[in-house]
Amino acid sequence: MLIRKQSDLLLGVLVAVLLSALILLDINIVILRPVLAVMLILLLGHTVLTVWARGLILHQAVRILMSIMLGLTLTALIGLILNYTSWGLTPQSWVLLLSGILLVHVLIAFIQRRQFIESPEQTHRLTFNFGQGVMLILAVLVVGISIMVAQIGSLNQPRPGFTQLWMTADPSNNSSATFLGIRNEEADTLSYNLVVTQGTEVLQDYQSLQLRVGETWQRSVDLSSLTEKNVPVEAVLYRSDKPDEPYRSVKLWLK
């Protein structure tokens, strides 16, 4: 009887402890962590309401509304407070503070419920009969299918393909190397020719580079030996099926 009466508070303790353990021990269980995270925010609202709305006449629908809203708004306020701490808004600081506040309120609510006789609240069981249950389960399934259809449609939308060409200095600045790269995002495997020149001088000539869809080709070239700074280094990409027609081009002015 006691457990049943305090089941919401026990659930709060369970969620807070489990989620804290998962985050602090860096255990990632795919479904469990998101479910616990949402429950932690909503249960925070519920327990705070239980403690601070003691003695108020709140109907079930109002309690649901207030639990959601207090859960969301208290999370926002706690975030604001965390911003002014040295920890900042990290997974660890979030879970410790939210769980801490939840557990304190669980304790107060527990004591309150034992010390005072609760006024009878008008609550309604949210029960469904078999037919209603089937309809709701079907609805969830159809929504799931709808989301899948939309995602498949989005990911497989017909679009024009493209090829990326680049020639740029090492982004990490760790070397004097220059990166040359090609990425094929066309509809099919393509063969490319890449010619690197400075003025009339051919510096590199890469022939018949076969790239599958989504594949990247990259080379590091050292241009530090080039002394001519007034003529840019150019890389021109050709498709092997149209070898005379420049397909992409990039250029680099040496410093």
Partner 1 sequence: MGKEMAQSMQVSNIQTTLDPVAFPVSSKPVVTAKTEAARWGWFPALVLLNSCALLIVSLGYTLNRMNVEWAAVLYWLSLIIIFVPTAYRLLSPSIARRERIGLIVALGLALYLVKILHSPVDFTFYDEFLHWNTANHILSTAHLFTPNPLLPVSSLYPGLEIITTALSNLSGFSVVTSGMVILGIARIAFMLGLYLFYERISSSPQIGGIAALLYTANSNFIFFDSQFSYESLSLPIAVTVLFLVAYSTTKATGKFLQHLLLMLPLIFVVAFTHHLTSYVMIGILFLWAIVALLKNYKSGEWIRVGMISMIALGITLGWSVYVGSTTSDYLAPVIRNSIAEISGLILDENSGRELFQGTNGQSSAVWERVVGIGAVAFILIILPFGIFEIVRSPFQQSPLGKKITLLRADLLQAWQRYRSNSAAFAFAIIVLFHPIMQSFRLTSAGWEIANRSSEFIFWAIAFVVTIGFFSLKSKAFLRPYWKVAFVVWASVVFIGGGISGWPPWARLPGSYLVSADTRSIEPQGIAAAKWAGEFLKPESLIGTDRINSLLVAIYGHQRPITHLADKTYLASVFFSPNFGDSERELINRVKANYLVVDERLSANLPLVGVYFEAGEPRDKYDDTPISLEALEKFRRINSISQPFDDGNIQIYDVSSIHVNP
Site for partner 1 in 139-158 (CB under 8 A): 139-143, 145-147, 149-155, 157-158
Instruction: Provide the minimum distance between the beta carbon of 220 and partner 1 in the complex, in angstroms, as a whole number.
Output: 13
Of 2 and 245, CB closest to partner 1: 245
Helices and strands of the chain, counted as H and E runs? 6, 7
Which of 37, 43, 194, 196 binds partner 1 (CB under 8 A)? It is: 37
226 lies in the site for partner 1, by CB under 8 A: no
Which of 11, 91, 193, 195 binds partner 1 (CB under 8 A)? It is: 91
Instruction: Provide the minimum distance between the beta carbon of 155 and partner 1 in the complex, in angstroms, as a whole number.
Output: 7
Which of 7, 90, 189, 220 binds partner 1 (CB under 8 A)? It is: 90
Contact 161, 167 (CB under 8 A): no
Q: How many residues bind partner 1 (CB under 8 A)?
A: 96
80 lies in the site for partner 1, by CB under 8 A: yes
Instruction: Provide the minimum distance between the beta carbon of 83 and partner 1 in the complex, in angstroms, as a whole number.
Output: 4
Angle at the Cα of 182 (from 195 to 197), degrees rounded to 5? 20
213 lies in the site for partner 1, by CB under 8 A: no
62 lies in the site for partner 1, by CB under 8 A: yes
φ/ψ of 207, rounded to 5, equals -110, 145
- Residues 95 and 82: their CA atoms lie apart, in Å, by 11
Ranges assigned E (strand) in the chain: 162-169, 177-185, 190-198, 201-211, 216-222, 233-239, 242-252
- Residues 194 and 236: their CA atoms lie apart, in Å, by 6
